[in-house]
Amino acid sequence: MTASALDTLDTPAAVLDIDRMERNIAAMQARIDAHGVRFRPHVKTSKCLEVIGAQLRAGAHGVTVSTLKEAEACFEAGIDDILYAVGIAPAKLARAMALKRRGCRLKLVVDNLAAADAIVAACRAEEDRFEVWLEVDTDGHRSGIAPDSDTLLAVGRALRDGAIPIGGVMAHAGSSYELHTEAALRALAEQERAGCALAARRLREAGIDCPGVSVGSTPTALAAARLDGVTEVRAGVYVFFDLVMHNVGVCALDDLALSVLTTVIGHQPDKGWIIVDAGWMALSRDRGTSKQSRDFQYGLPCTVDGTPIDGYLLVSANQEHGIMAAAGDAVPCNPADVVARFPLGTKLRILPNHACATGAQFAEYHAVRADGALAVWHRFRGW
Amino acid sequence: MTASALDTLDTPAAVLDIDRMERNIAAMQARIDAHGVRFRPHVKTSKCLEVIGAQLRAGAHGVTVSTLKEAEACFEAGIDDILYAVGIAPAKLARAMALKRRGCRLKLVVDNLAAADAIVAACRAEEDRFEVWLEVDTDGHRSGIAPDSDTLLAVGRALRDGAIPIGGVMAHAGSSYELHTEAALRALAEQERAGCALAARRLREAGIDCPGVSVGSTPTALAAARLDGVTEVRAGVYVFFDLVMHNVGVCALDDLALSVLTTVIGHQPDKGWIIVDAGWMALSRDRGTSKQSRDFQYGLPCTVDGTPIDGYLLVSANQEHGIMAAAGDAVPCNPADVVARFPLGTKLRILPNHACATGAQFAEYHAVRADGALAVWHRFRGW
């Protein structure tokens, strides 16, 4: 990427390397294609129609969303196959139904009997029917029904008896973010697959339709050795990757497509500090690498062409100030050299801990190609 | 506040208790008035014209901003006395000058010779002059020039010799957030005052005009015993307060004006977990209480009328999921009771660690009064 295109931007800015993004999209799609299953990317990472368009053109089938706002934005852009992958609150059913009435094939997710009952009642009142997926918990990290539980069948029966079409079962092995070896990731991917497949089998054996089996997180999607019984994989952050994913071991540093462009605004030479205009308002407060094998503090600084600056980290962040300094063993001989090395006005790019959180701090991406072409891609926002 | 007004809102939503906010504004203004100095609130917390209007009506003189976007939004709303309190990057001078040319009395801040030289050069080229303040470092936490340093005088001379009017010196004792006793806060307030007053005296003794002495952070503004030599105090987060400030000891829990309205979307009864639809996208990733005397995790849940729920915290947050659970000694006898106590659809309000960060996750506040009246107040965003 040429530095000159970025020199025209106000800072801080969210810079998106389109070439890296397209490489990430192609690699994931090829990986899932090789398993012979469909891929449904989670758009909560980018919240950007240009990015989602690239994922669909590469072969994705439909999208996963985390908010009704994302669903509405995607539907308005012509995407009608949408899985809303957060358990539905009954008060949101009217808004979901309005979207469905406009022609959206919106799929809801439930993990409890009360929500299933609320969907049945709402659909009866509206004389319409959502497709509903049962959320299964395969790693204990958040929501979902245990695959071997009575609750699974109770929820399945409540939906079936309420004439609600069940799309399938879905799981998200979010604890994969805590792993960092290929063996552990492969084992968790198998646990996610097996748990979800078990849930589907139990529903079917109980006479309940369960055509779909959907699994996924970026690490397990990339690590899975086999996907028998799975019909669909979901993943989100792979599209940009980030330092957390680098620590998990599923991407190289030069796969990271999102960075925050920043400007040096001052120094504390005695301490070897470089002050930049990217604080937590730009980078987010996400410290996802703090408990991983390598703690990147608030991010890894790079030169404006994207080359990591060896031994330096963004060690602290206030709202609009970041403090960059030598970290670990790389303390320079003379801290005051930072003024000569990174003079006032120097532009830098910070690789973020967590692309979903950092992206969310910005209204738009400045999307650049290697030839320097620059475009503004908007994000949607809110709920 | 009546619960019924909030029952109409989609969740998550940022709820602003106007009565508490007005109480906070009045208390701070009275405190600074009693010192006989001007008060210039920092609008980076609210980024909201209705809130800023309330601060100005209560007696504030001008505003402090952290971005040129905030400056532009305030100026467009008729506020022309604006201190941009982040060290200026030379590349931003053209945009700052455009704002000044429209009639804005925009004050810039510098803490190094290169920035002073850039301002002199830009003003000479434009045949115009910014008012410039020298940032002084009184507690070593971030930017600023040491009050007793040669650099202070060098920067002052560069501005004076460049015919730039110096507004004064300013400091922000941000390390006050790390304290939690009245004695320590009072001592730091005095350190901030004394350091800033020393810088002003040294400049004056060197024949350099330095009319203003501006200090402040919410804790030091509230703790200062004396403000001799100070002309202006700045503070930001006091307008809403938050759990970090509660731990610092400068507000009660019922002073907190900002909360995140959320809905229960599920449970993990075996673990005693309540799953809510406020994750880090709503609450931010700010964990500012993690190293304080009481760690509130991702926030303190309250009933929808604002009463803290004893013994529970938001213990974990994913993008759109929050996990609420009993924390500390308050583990319930039977975890499964959470389903009966907090059934699906229950609305709750989460008090946030850091109001500046949580507010920034939202496009608007839902501002409510005790009588239940509800208004939508927009935030500005970006840089």
Using CB atoms, pick whichever of A95, A118, A345 lies closest to residue B90: A345
The CATH number given to B19-240 is 3.20.20.10
The arrangement of secondary structure in A3-11+251-378, i.e. its CATH architecture, is Beta Barrel (2.40)
The CATH number given to B3-12+251-378 is 2.40.37.20
Asked if the Cβ–Cβ distance from B142 to A275 is below 8 Å, we say yes
Element (H, E) at A95: helix A93-101
Using CB atoms, pick whichever of B91, B287, B354 lies closest to residue A263: B91
Return mean pLDDT, chain A.
96
C-alpha distances out from residue B243 to A88, B238, B351, Å = 29, 11, 7
Q: Would the pLDDT of B1 be above 60?
A: no
DSSP state of B237: G
Q: Which residues of A touch B174 (CB under 8 A)?
A: 318
> Domain spanning A19-241: which superfamily?
Alanine racemase (3.20.20.10)
Q: Which residues of A touch B381 (CB under 8 A)?
A: 363
pLDDT confidence of residue A334 = 79
In chain A, what are the domain boundaries? 3-11+251-378, 19-241
C-alpha neighbours within 13 Å on the C-beta side of residue A85: 29
Ranges assigned E (strand) in chain B: 13-17, 38-39, 63-65, 81-84, 105-110, 131-136, 166-171, 212-215, 232-233, 258-268, 273-276, 300-303, 312-317, 322-326, 347-351, 364-368, 374-378
pLDDT confidence of residue B330 = 59
pLDDT confidence of residue A3 = 63
User: Across residues B3-21, what is the average pLDDT?
Assistant: 92
ipTM score assigned to the predicted complex: 0.97
Query: Tens of pLDDT along B74-95?
Result: 999 999 999 999 999 999 999 9
Ranges assigned E (strand) in chain A: 13-17, 38-39, 63-65, 81-84, 105-110, 131-136, 166-171, 212-215, 232-233, 258-268, 273-276, 300-303, 312-317, 322-326, 347-351, 364-368, 374-378
**Hey, is B149 helix, strand or coil?**
coil
From the number of C-beta atoms within 10 Å of its C-beta (0-12, 13-18, 19+), residue A5 rates as: middle
Residues in CB range of B190: below 8 A, 6 or more apart: B224, B225, B226
Q: To the nearest 10°, the Cα dihedral for B150, B156, B158, B163?
A: -170
Contact criterion met (CB below 8 Å) for B292 and B353: no
Distance to chain B for A119, nearest Cα, Å = 12
Q: Would the pLDDT of B256 be above 90?
A: yes
**Hey, is B274 helix, strand or coil?**
strand
Rounded to whole angstroms, the Cα distance separating A114 from A101 reads 24
Q: Which residues of A touch B11 (CB under 8 A)?
A: 89, 91, 383
pLDDT confidence of residue B372 = 86
User: Across residues A190-205, what is the average pLDDT?
Assistant: 98
Using CB atoms, pick whichever of B87, B323, B362 lies closest to residue A266: B87
Contact criterion met (CB below 8 Å) for B271 and B252: no
Q: Which two tokens stand for residue A220?
A: 């397990």
Rounded to whole angstroms, the Cα distance separating B288 from B306 reads 21
DSSP state of B365: E
Contacts with A, B 47-86, CB within 8 Å: 66-67, 86
User: Across residues B101-108, what is the average pLDDT?
Assistant: 98
Contacts with A, B 346-365, CB within 8 Å: 354, 356-357, 360-363
pLDDT confidence of residue B236 = 98
Return the bridge partners of A230, or none: none
pLDDT confidence of residue B370 = 87
Query: Tens of pLDDT along A95-137?
Result: 999 999 999 999 999 999 999 999 999 999 999 999 999 999 9
Q: Would the pLDDT of A372 be above 90?
A: no
Chain A interface disruption, residue of B142, B175, B262, B316, most A CBs within 10 A? B142
Return mean pLDDT, chain B.
96
pLDDT confidence of residue B2 = 54
Contacts with A, B 6-25, CB within 8 Å: 10-13
Q: Report residue A342's pLDDT band, with 50, 70 and 90 as the boundaries.
A: very high
Give the torsion sign (CA, B274, B276, B279, B285): negative
Closest by CA position to A35, among listed A256, A216, A242, A167: A216
Q: How many CB pairs under 8 A join A and B?
A: 147
Q: Which residues of A touch B4 (CB under 8 A)?
A: none
pLDDT confidence of residue B5 = 82
Asked if the Cβ–Cβ distance from B266 to A143 is below 8 Å, we say yes
Rounded to whole angstroms, the Cα distance separating B147 from B198 reads 6
Q: Report residue B165's pLDDT band, with 50, 70 and 90 as the boundaries.
A: very high
Closest by CA position to A192, among listed A144, A150, A264, A244: A144
Q: Would the pLDDT of B333 be above 70?
A: no
Query: Tens of pLDDT along A250-305?
Result: 999 999 999 999 999 999 999 999 999 999 999 999 999 999 999 999 999 999 99
Return the bridge partners of A82, or none: A63, A106
Query: Tens of pLDDT along A160-179?
Result: 999 999 999 999 999 999 99
Asked if the Cβ–Cβ distance from A86 to B277 is below 8 Å, we say yes
Query: Tens of pLDDT along B199-250?
Result: 999 999 999 999 999 999 999 999 999 999 999 999 999 999 999 999 999 9
Query: Tens of pLDDT along B42-78?
Result: 999 999 999 999 999 999 999 999 999 999 999 999 9
pLDDT confidence of residue A336 = 76
Query: Tens of pLDDT along B261-270?
Result: 999 999 999 9
The residue type of A85 is A
